[in-house]
Amino acid sequence: MSFTSPHVKNFQSIGQAGICVFALLFPMATAQDMPSSNAAAFVALGIVSIFFSGLLLFWVWNEPIAFGSLARVSVSVSALLLFYLSILLTVTFGFQFGIVVLPVTWAAVLAVFLRPAFLDAPVGRRLRILLTSLVAVVFAACLLTYHQHTTVLGSDYRRTGLAAFCGCVVVFVVAVVAIPSPDGISRAVHSLLFASGMVGILAILQFYDPGQSISHWFPRILHDPRAMGTMGHPNWFGTFLCLVLPLAAVEFLLSRTRWREIWFLSLCGILFAALLVCQTRGAWVAFSLFSAWIAWRQHARWEKLAMLFCLFALITVVLMGSRDELIAKRFATFDKELDSASEMAPGTGSSRFGYWAYSLQNLPPHMILGSGLDTYDQAGRPGGTPASADKAHSIYFEYALTLGLPGLVLYVVFLWSCVAPPCEGPDGLRGWGFRAAILTYFVQGIFIHDTIHTWPLVWLIAGLAVANRTIQGKPTIQNPRRLAFCGDPLPLHE
């Protein structure tokens, strides 16, 4: 991108460093129980998003040619209105950190959207329109609801309200505009993978730690033998692994030196072992589909794939017989769940069918606008069946009810558009890895909702994917009807 401001290089340097620090430290944000772990992750996201918002506002504000006085007045007025809303919330409910996060991040988001050229260069007009529409739908759903306090700041437990959404959008924008080179993409990905390796090692130690001497310092569910790393819950940890394992596998395939091959192969082994010990069945299903996809799409790299799958098989054999065969017993429950699903029993999938039925029963009045983020359990009809959980345990049922069907469609289409360029042009292997990560997230999303631990990482990966595609050059659209995963095999050399 070419901007007139002399501060562009400084912004990109600081923004790129900030993205790397965020990727390295955010997965480590945790506490000793699930609510405190969520709160720690939200505070970490809030601090980073406020810092990134200041960078964006400083950059955009210093572009007087493209960012006129009318736009500056609009940003100022909107930020003041949100600040006024925050003051009302503070007086009514007491001070919360989200009250600081929301006005600052919204000012940055609005400033970016009021300058179309700022995003058109790196993301393209179509993706900018999708993102703008998604933000507009989310704001409408959250501000035109009876539960504004919950949906604006997020529930006290989940923390995935409007403030967290704005923080995620800011992380996405900075990842897109602040990384100017392939080396910057590599550093951000490697930072995330290094942190993932540390969290994976912790999860393995948790699995082999019956005395819980290690787990005492990290979130743990009482009497639950499943490992969860720093994520607060095994299911949330499974989503995290679904995001990072494809990236680690691609980095192994990209390795051209022996030491890099050993490092990334070892990392893949650690993350796969963590996937097994978290005992999250939905993540297992998602990873199985990813394994089939990578074997099909990258069959030309059969030697490295053989090494990878042999390592996975060896780890599976070792862990299956460990800790009284806990993992093997967890695998054995698939038959029971399939039988239960065939009978449409509400208890199927740890009661997921019951949660989904609640979403469908209460969808009609919220089909267009939605009840607002984090209000799944408050969206029921008066006198109707109350919710048995505060989340739908599926991103699709969750967002259909809380954002409406337009919000759900926009969210899925936007994320897929970030990682799915047309098939006919050259697409680097790392870009394919981003695509695989989001596709695996979509599969895992059938069984679990978004959480404050993983939602920002989804947006970070989407932003890195867009930046990676922009750096490589967008391919020419020859047949836009073709899906992005059905094209010719990717090139052997990057």
Tens digits of per-residue pLDDT, 101-137? 888 888 888 878 877 777 766 777 889 899 999 999 9
Q: Give how many domains the chain has, as a whole number.
A: 2
Predicted confidence band of residue 400 (pLDDT cuts 50, 70, 90): very high
- Is the same domain home to 54 and 155? yes
Please check whether residues 28 and 168 belong to one and the same domain: yes
Does the pLDDT at position 420 exceed 70?
A: yes
pTM comes to 0.89
Token pair of 477 as six digits: 């659209």
| 397 inside domain | no
Q: Among the three residues 148, 178, 208, which one is the final residue of a domain in this structure? A: 178
Is residue 359 domain-resident?
A: no
Domain's final residue, options 163, 178, 193: 178
Q: Please report whether residue 382 resides in a domain.
A: no
pLDDT number for residue 373: 93
Residue 201 domain-assigned?
Answer: yes
Q: Please give the residue range of the domain that contains residue 2.
A: 1-178
Domain-embedded: residue 304: yes
Is 193 found in the same domain as 171? no
- Confidence check: pLDDT of 426 > 80: no
| Domain co-membership, 151 together with 218 | no
Question: Is residue 355 in some structural domain?
Answer: no
Distance between CA 459 and CA 414 in Å, rounded? 11
**Residue 96 sits in the same domain as residue 209:** no
Q: Please indicate, yes or no, whether residues 24 and 148 belong to a single structural domain of this protein.
A: yes
What's the rounded Cα separation, in Å, for the pair 494 and 480? 24
Residues 234 and 339 in one domain: yes
More confident residue, 363 or 80: 363
With bands split at pLDDT 50, 70 and 90, how would you rate the model's confidence at 389?
Answer: confident
The answer to whether residues 338 and 438 belong to one domain is yes
Query: Which of the listed residues 123, 143, 178 is the one where a domain comes to its end?
Result: 178
Average pLDDT, the chain: 81
* 173 and 259 within one domain: no
Note the pLDDT of residue 427. 44
Tens-place pLDDT, residues 442-455: 999 999 999 999 99
398 occurs within a structural domain: no
Q: Assess whether 153 and 193 both reside in one domain.
A: no
- Same-domain pairing of 111 and 232: no
Same-domain status, 319 and 301: yes
Question: Would you say residue 384 lies in a domain?
Answer: no
Q: Could you tell me if residue 117 is left (phi over 0), alpha (psi between -120 and 50 degrees) or otherwise beta?
A: alpha
Is the pLDDT at 417 greater than 80? The verdict is yes
For 15-31, the pLDDT digits (tens) are 999 999 999 999 998 87
